[in-house]
Structure 1
Amino acid sequence: MSSITIRNLGDTVKHNLRVRAALHGRSMEDEARTILRNAVEQDAPSGAALVQRIRARFAALGDVDLLQPPRKAMREPPELPTGHAPDSA
């Protein structure tokens, strides 16, 4: 587990954290951990949420139909010399 130190925390913030921790029956440290964990988990977009945000950003531009280039048949693989085992390195 990692740890951090938070410096220059205002007296009011520290007091409110202490009160909030007491209301939840936790230590100040545990309350701060819970607040940080919840904030980070809420902000982490899922794959579906990311797709929705991208679509929303470009929705005003409208749909775009892209032409697919014609496909050609795959070429045949090159002939390899026979009688030689591949080098194992």
Structure 2
Amino acid sequence: MGQVLVRNLDDAVIENLKFKAEMKGRSLEQELRELLTAAAPLTAEEKIALIRKIRIESPKLKDFDVSAAIRAGRDDEFLE
């Protein structure tokens, strides 16, 4: 698992997070882990932006017949 070091946090922020963790019976580290885990999933808009970014960065397929590839893949299922 990875680790992250966050610098220059305001002391009041740290104290508030410590208080929240204490109220839940958790360590500050566990509270931060829970907060980051909850904030990490991508929203629908972020997923769409990621797909668009990947499409822009992907090379164009000039002589590729998508329909033929789909048919071939579908036909291969029946050969097994």
Query: Into which bin does the TM-score normalised by the smaller protein fall?
Result: 0.5 to 0.7
Aligned to 1:4: 4
The answer to whether structure 1 residue 24 and structure 2 residue 24 are counterparts is yes
Q: Which runs of 4+ in 1 moved over 2 A?
A: none
The unaligned stretches of length 5 or more in structure 1 are 51-89
SS at match of 2:40: helix
Scaled by the length of structure 2, the TM-score of the pair is 0.52
Scaled by the length of structure 1, the TM-score of the pair is 0.47
Letter matched to residue 31 of structure 1: E
Q: Which has the higher helix share?
A: 2
State the number of aligned residues.
47
1:45 and 1:7 map into 2 onto residues whose CA distance is: 27
- Specify which structure has the bigger relative contact order, considering alpha-carbon pairs within 8 angstroms and separated by 6 or more residues: 2
Larger radius of gyration: 1
